[in-house]
Structure 1
Amino acid sequence: MTSADPPAFEPTSIELQSVADSKITSVSVYPTRAEVTRVYKFAVQTGQNQVYISGLPNVLEPESLRVEGRGAATIHDVTLSVADEVSQEFVPMFSPKLAELLSTREDKEDALTRCEQALSSLRQYLDSLTVQNLPVTQLESVLHQYETTGARLDARKKELTRELQRIDTEIAAENAQMAVPPEDHWLRNMAAIGVFAQTPGNVEIALIYAVPYASWTAFYDIRVDMDAKESPVKLIYKAAIKQNTGESWDNVPLQLETSTPTFGLGVPKLPEVVEMKHEEAAVMSTGNVNATFRVPGLVTIPCDNAAHNLTIVELRPQAVMSWVAVPKREAKTHLTAHITNASEYTLLSGTANVYVDGSFIARSTVPSVSPQESFDCPLGLDPSIRITYPPISKQLSQSSFYKKSATHGFTQRITVHNTKSVPVDGLRIVDQIPVPRNAQVKVKLVQPALPLGEGEGVTGKGAEAESNAGAGAGAKGKGKQSASVSVSKGVVAQWDGGDKTDRRVSWVCAVPAQGKINLTLEWTVTVSPADAQVVGL
């Protein structure tokens, strides 16, 4: 090298420990992984600086690693030394405490063996005594010495047994503790970053990387206040977050993502200095069920693979309560809320704990719901609405002239009692009259007097139509929408769902507080000829 040659280029080496020398500024949790942003601040010298960042997670996905930063410098190269290039196997060391415990246990086992041998020898000595070699005058003294020595040896044996049990417990605890790898065992990856600086100064770089073994799921608390006239439903949107990535997330800004991330390896240049801005908690919907939720405040999620629950938001959705009962099957009333998501939040599919007036009622589910969409949420049984459904009342058969046909009358009475202190509006009671399967059988609905469309096989009051086997399928959909009939104050009868072919009748009722209503379903069955055998009569 001549005097005109430039001096040899020696890069400045900078060593950083990831956890100690950085701060997590953002964590985005996806359904199956997370993206972590760590910011490092350090000083560089003029020229080439080689930055080594150790203690990165073993599970870091190499293709996801990218570098961003601020300062008058340029990033030249980024490489990742993954942990599997070095043995990751954890071999617990033999601790001095474990050696001491094992030595003590061996001493105690030897002492216990000697004690048991002494007891055995004492018994053998007593068994060997005879009247020839032991005068009667010495018998009492010998027996006394036997009892004293035997009691002392028994107590010693019990003491040694307890000590061995205690030592075994300590040995097991020590083995378990040594089997747990040190905290940094899961943080063995290292990143090497080349930074070229025109002038000495401080720079700031951010490492952004993805890690598996992190996830979140949505779940809900649905709280219903039956006494509330407006907004009776409160929906508490929650998230259960798990992570076992090797590093703890302590006091970090957290985002919950619903989409699947796409990561790529890149080496961008450092941009000009830009001040960081604090963003308020917000939600950004990106599709029907894709959204980003920024959780307010800072959150701590330790690396323990346990579910950590937090509240995303409390909503007061629009809700219409309805009740439905099918007393022919069971005298119970089912409560349902028709909920409209009037918020900007996308509701993800998840389980829901339902509380009515402060009491846990049932566990339900919430489907994926976009803003302004609606869903029906079953809220369980409402025991405050009591239904009485006595047996069917049958009338005597009446035969027509020359007994060509016979008519049978049937009456089903239903009583509904609202024990609430508030009225119930929108209670639907569903029942059914028989469906004839033969042309010889005709069914006539008497009460409630519901009209039927043309082509239907059962008729309302004052008219009759026949239904024969095989005609049901062709009759469906031919009739016009049935009109409703006012039965009494606050009670309207109609064909359930507008479908008259399966003979379901429903009453939509408004029941006053502490009030009762009575419903009647009455029909006749005419059989021709009169002596024909009909199943179900």
Structure 2
Amino acid sequence: MSQVVTYDASEHPVNSVTVYQVNRAEINRRIKVNLASGQNEVEIIHLPSVLDEDSIRVDGIGKAVIFDVIYKPPMPTKKSTDSETLKALLKKKALLDSRQHILEREDSILTSYSNNIDSQHVDSQKLAEFFTLYQERKAALDLQLLELQETLKDTEQEIEEERKLVKSDKKSQKRGVKIVVVVLAEEDGPAELSLSYVVSSAQWKPQYDLRASISNSEKSKSSISLQYRASIWQSTGEDWDNVDLHLSTASPQMGSTVPGVKIAYIREDTPVYYRSSNRKNRKAILERSASFAVPAAPMAMSYSAVGGGGDGGDDEAYYFAGPPAFMKNTQAVANESAISASFNIEGLSSIPSDTDEDSQTHKVTIAVIELDDVSLEWIAVPKELPSAFLQCRVKNTSPYLLLPGPANIFMDNNFVSKSEISQVSSQESFSCSLGVDPEVRVTYHPQRKWVKTVGGLLTSKVTTTSFTQTISLKNNRRATLKKLIVKDNVPVSSDSRIKVVVSEPKGLEDAATVSKSSSVPRGPSKDISLGPNLKVRWAPTAGSDSTSPDDGSDDNVEGTIEWTCAVEPGSSQDLQLSWDVVAPAGVRWTKTG
């Protein structure tokens, strides 16, 4: 005969928790029970209903031997969270409120009527009769109101108690799992079991506070203080009070099997033909065939007259591109590193379970990282906004892996913006924007334009439209701007008859491979020196051979020119961009963007 020992998990705290980023958490409990010699059944009740059955692990500490572990799932949840008793009580309270309003209204009318009686114009006998009636009716109303208020108070108390029961039922529904552990003990006495299991409805996300201290002199260095925090949320049904908290980037629900490569086929896109006896049916054919088209793209279609029909030109055949092959549902792809990162939070943490009425996240600090390997650069796109944005490039010299997450940016203890930090390993560098620097003045002057036509009897006339754009920079800081990047662009011709030729800065037309109709490069560019601390190039675009992950090429469009300069304190720098649009005389063109 086995001895049954009941252990209520809701009355005992959790020992340690490991929270994952993928809606999972691993819970560990140390269960202390008194066992009898021989076989014992330890019933662990009120465990979370979101517990994963396959993740249960029980180990005996000491001389206890585990024979079996039995999982008992929670009972099916009720469809309605409000009990019939609560509904009846709420209905009763509504009727009592209505009755109270009627009695109070009657009392108000009776009192108002008595106040309006003029004793000088009313017979004394009738006045005495009214006062007798008033006293009787007023006393009856007061008694009814008093009894009604007592009943209403009792009903409200019953509603509150019933709501507590409903809330308790909801909580018990969240903690409906029971685990039975069959244990063999050599002798009577205390024993300890280690119970671990994985639950859903819990996750953590990284977030950062980046505080930048920017140097205003050549003697001091700029530095970054990065507060690395975790935002934790859980609604497992059990509170984590004073637990040893760990954070992990592992994915416990991901499979470990290496996926295979699936075969891909190429087939002929077979067209589908429809034949219409007259033009009137064309609209109906187009509407019916629209169901074959991919919703996100327009259907390619053409039609041509086919001779030989008895109805002359009314007999036409229509051609539609055949429907694309159905695509299979793609599976989610996770990129996992060979070693996952984990963080141990110092001290003990308390993360209560969220309820339906109270949902919140809890923040814990992983580390405060001081970074002094900081390089600054200023970036301006004056055509769009005449301001210089301060951007810092920081090397992660800490041993911590920085995970992708939002960052609040502070500069000199002032909040400036929100940004995003991508995944950064130890000893890798990352960039972040610190917002607009008001100490750097950028002026985008009005564009100058003039037109001339050349050509004669032996050559075709061409019209050349010349443009000149001047950009002025002023450094009002007390330190040198060692790297100020300015971007502008020239138009790109899409017509072989119209050419765009950059005349200044000189040398750009020879800096890269150019198209037939433009000196805008189609390939990698090289830097051209324009003087001390000033160089220019065609900015790399995404996908070109000269791009690197950190050069901002994703923001560049074709035709973008990039100056890089250094500006001393209090000094100015002028940049000039000139280009010609050459087109045959009489060909009108327009510029967009």
Q: TM-score, normalised by structure 2?
A: 0.66
Q: What is the rounded CA distance, in whole Å, between the counterparts of 2:149 and 2:479 in structure 1?
A: 69
1:360 aligned onto 2:415: yes
- Equivalent position amino acid for 2:417 in 1: A
Q: 1:176 to 1:426 in 2, by over 3 A?
A: farther
Task: Give the match for residue 115 of structure 1.
Answer: 107
RMSD: 4.8
1:291-318 deviation line (CA, Å, top 9, x unaligned): 2222222110001242111121223454
Q: What is the rounded CA distance, in whole Å, between the counterparts of 2:434 and 2:379 in structure 1?
A: 12
- Equivalent position amino acid for 1:63 in 2: D
Q: 1:109 to 1:523 in 2, by over 3 A?
A: closer
1:291 aligned onto 2:341: yes
Q: 1:525 to 1:52 in 2, by over 3 A?
A: closer
Gaps of 5+ in 2: 256-335, 547-556
Q: 1:386 to 1:61 in 2, by over 3 A?
A: same
Task: Give the match for residue 493 of structure 1.
Answer: 536
SS in 1 for 2:232: strand
- Equivalent position amino acid for 1:414 in 2: I
Q: Which shifted more, 422-431 or 239-248?
A: 422-431
- Equivalent position amino acid for 1:447 in 2: E
Q: 1:83 to 1:397 in 2, by over 3 A?
A: closer
Q: 1:453 to 1:93 in 2, by over 3 A?
A: same
SS in 1 for 2:168: coil
Q: Which shifted more, 196-205 or 181-190?
A: 181-190
User: How far does residue 94 in structure 1 lie from its aligned partner after superposition?
Assistant: 6.1
Task: Give the match for residue 283 of structure 1.
Answer: none
Q: 1:142 to 1:388 in 2, by over 3 A?
A: farther
1:385 aligned onto 2:428: no
Task: Give the match for residue 268 of structure 1.
Answer: none
User: How far does residue 90 in structure 1 lie from its aligned partner after superposition?
Assistant: 6.6
1:185-242 deviation line (CA, Å, top 9, x unaligned): 6434332222212233332111111222111112222222222854533332221111
Gaps of 5+ in 1: 1-9, 265-285, 458-466
1:331 aligned onto 2:331: no
Q: What is the rounded CA distance, in whole Å, between the counterparts of 1:340 and 1:440 in structure 2?
A: 49
Task: Give the match for residue 417 of structure 1.
Answer: 474
1:313 aligned onto 2:301: no
Q: 1:505 to 1:17 in 2, by over 3 A?
A: closer
Q: What is the rounded CA distance, in whole Å, between the counterparts of 2:469 and 2:184 in structure 1?
A: 91
Note if contact 2:211-2:412 (Cα within 8 Å) is conserved in structure 1.
Answer: yes
Note if contact 2:512-2:526 (Cα within 8 Å) is conserved in structure 1.
Answer: no
Identical-residue share of aligned pairs (%): 28
- Residue among 522, 539, 557 paired with 1:476: 522
Note if contact 1:453-1:482 (Cα within 8 Å) is conserved in structure 2.
Answer: no
User: How far does residue 388 in structure 1 lie from its aligned partner after superposition?
Assistant: 0.9
Task: Give the match for residue 187 of structure 2.
Answer: 199
Task: Give the match for residue 187 of structure 1.
Answer: 175
Q: What is the rounded CA distance, in whole Å, between the counterparts of 1:526 and 1:189 in structure 2?
A: 79
Q: 1:204 to 1:397 in 2, by over 3 A?
A: same
Note if contact 2:202-2:235 (Cα within 8 Å) is conserved in structure 1.
Answer: yes
1:446-494 deviation line (CA, Å, top 9, x unaligned): 433335438855xxxxxxxxx644x779x733xx74342133x433233
Note if contact 1:449-1:485 (Cα within 8 Å) is conserved in structure 2.
Answer: no
1:448 aligned onto 2:505: yes
Note if contact 1:247-1:302 (Cα within 8 Å) is conserved in structure 2.
Answer: yes
1:99-124 deviation line (CA, Å, top 9, x unaligned): 9x95986884574365267469879x
Note if contact 2:512-2:525 (Cα within 8 Å) is conserved in structure 1.
Answer: no
Q: 1:299 to 1:514 in 2, by over 3 A?
A: farther
SS in 1 for 2:104: helix
Q: Which shifted more, 236-245 or 167-176?
A: 167-176
1:27 aligned onto 2:5: no
Q: What is the rounded CA distance, in whole Å, between the counterparts of 2:404 and 2:352 in structure 1?
A: 25
Q: 1:340 to 1:198 in 2, by over 3 A?
A: same
1:357-397 deviation line (CA, Å, top 9, x unaligned): 22222222222333344444344433432211111234685
- Equivalent position amino acid for 2:522 in 1: K
Q: Which shifted more, 62-71 or 489-498?
A: 489-498
Q: TM-score, normalised by structure 1?
A: 0.72
Q: What is the rounded CA distance, in whole Å, between the counterparts of 1:348 and 1:303 in structure 2?
A: 25
SS in 2 for 1:24: coil
Task: Give the match for residue 225 of structure 1.
Answer: 213
Aligned residues: 475
Task: Give the match for residue 302 of structure 1.
Answer: 352
Q: 1:494 to 1:288 in 2, by over 3 A?
A: farther
SS in 2 for 1:290: coil
SS in 1 for 2:54: helix
Q: 1:250 to 1:263 in 2, by over 3 A?
A: farther
- Residue among 509, 512, 532 paired with 2:568: 512
Q: What is the rounded CA distance, in whole Å, between the counterparts of 1:449 and 1:296 in structure 2?
A: 61
Note if contact 1:448-1:485 (Cα within 8 Å) is conserved in structure 2.
Answer: no
Note if contact 1:450-1:493 (Cα within 8 Å) is conserved in structure 2.
Answer: no
1:61-460 pair list within 5 angstroms: 61-84=52-75, 108=100, 111-112=103-104, 114-115=106-107, 118=110, 177=164, 179-181=166-168, 186-227=174-215, 230=221, 232-261=223-252, 287=337, 290-304=340-354, 305-317=359-371, 318-394=373-449, 397=452, 410-435=467-492, 445-453=502-510, 456-457=513-514
Q: 1:86 to 1:240 in 2, by over 3 A?
A: closer
Note if contact 1:450-1:495 (Cα within 8 Å) is conserved in structure 2.
Answer: no
1:68-118 deviation line (CA, Å, top 9, x unaligned): 1211121112223333179898776969xx79x959868845743652674
SS in 1 for 2:347: coil
Q: Which shifted more, 194-203 or 388-397?
A: 388-397
User: How far does residue 39 in structure 1 lie from its aligned partner after superposition?
Assistant: 0.2
- Equivalent position amino acid for 1:112 in 2: E
- Equivalent position amino acid for 2:441 in 1: R
Note if contact 2:29-2:194 (Cα within 8 Å) is conserved in structure 1.
Answer: yes
Note if contact 2:525-2:539 (Cα within 8 Å) is conserved in structure 1.
Answer: no
